Amino acid sequence: MKEINKKVSIIVPVYNVEKYLNICVKSIVNQTYKNIEIILIDDGSKDNCGSICDEWAKKDCRIHVVHKENEGLGFARNTGLDYASGEYVMYVDSDDYIDLYMVEKLLKEAINRKADTVFCGLTRVQPNKELLQIPSYYDDKLFVGEEIIDSVLLEMIGSKPTEKEDANLFMSVWHALYSMDIIKENNIRFPSERKIMCEDIMYHIDYLTHANRVVYIKDCLYFYRVNPISLSQVYDGTRFERQKVLSKAICTSLNQYISQERYIIREQRRLLGGARGQILAIVASEEKNKLMLIKNICEDEEIKNILEKYPYKLNPIKHRIFNFGLKYRITILIYILAFMTNKCRG
């Protein structure tokens, strides 16, 4: 890629990951594409991450380190954006790592396809170190103009009722290359995940509604470490309420750009999936009042209102039965289905 000299800024928020940080930074430093700047944001780490970042900056002049008070992932990325000077930007989480060709491949697609944004597939790094490749839903697809809303953004939020998965596209920002021009011109920033969970989808709403040409490639170039804590479905009693806060934020943000009719059934699918996920966590937990907790979700006014109109009969069979149980508040049916689902997951 000698003919291309576009600078790519790579923002890495860092917090208490000394076990993985060197692997992450090494994968970025050794990229085949060399015109990069690496912005390490030490978000008030309490372990040795700050010192590790400083040591890397001494070894490579492309690395810039910012030490700041802890404010969370979203605000750490925003700090990185304030310092970024590249024409494109990527986000890498500090406990993950990337393929040595990732920047080169994504930038090549952006230049050749005249795209402002490029997404790729990912590889899940299981706790036992097994690698599970997950190619992108789309293979070598270019979306232009309004296609980006329906085929990319809304597919991140939620799928159509007939689809197998609640969403066909990952909403995470770490498997993509973004245009800094779009970010600067529209003053795009991340909200705090401490106020709104899934800050990445809020970023994507603001960003993708201004994108002009978006490319997807199947290549699995990002290595995402699966957190074993999430696998055990640890119950968080506040999670469903936070899902509802996110739902309101998504609708408020989308209303600025498109009509409600265009997105509402997708967001309803996402929130119903959130309710189901919370119930799975309840059943897998050590909570003693599981049926009462499930009943509380069944009695939730937002869930009841959604299921008055949502065409759940078009859902795949498991989701259809689950949503039937939610609509008619059959807690024992929901419990049994959740128990069987968790058991099948191992």
pLDDT tens digits for range 223-274: 999 986 654 446 899 999 999 999 999 999 999 999 999 999 999 999 999 9
Instruction: Report the pLDDT value the prediction gives residue 248, as an integer from 0 to 100.
Output: 97
Instruction: Report the pLDDT value the prediction gives residue 84, as an integer from 0 to 100.
Output: 98
Pairing status of strand 131-134 against strand 63-68 = unpaired
* Strand positions, DSSP E, 170-240: 176-179, 213-225
Distance between CA atoms of residues 120 and 116, nearest Å? 14
pLDDT tens-digit map of 275-288: 999 999 999 999 99
pLDDT tens-digit map of 37-67: 999 999 999 999 999 999 999 999 999 999 9
Q: How confident is the model at residue 131 (pLDDT cuts 50, 70, 90)?
A: very high
Instruction: Report the pLDDT value the prediction gives residue 229, as an integer from 0 to 100.
Output: 60
Does residue 1 surpass a pLDDT of 90?
no
* Strand positions, DSSP E, 93-232: 97-98, 117-125, 131-134, 141-144, 176-179, 213-225
Instruction: Report the pLDDT value the prediction gives residue 43, as an integer from 0 to 100.
Output: 97
If one counts every other C-beta atom within 10 angstroms of the C-beta of residue 285, the result is 16
What does DSSP assign to residue 168?
S
Does residue 107 surpass a pLDDT of 80?
yes
Q: Give the mean pLDDT of the chain.
A: 95
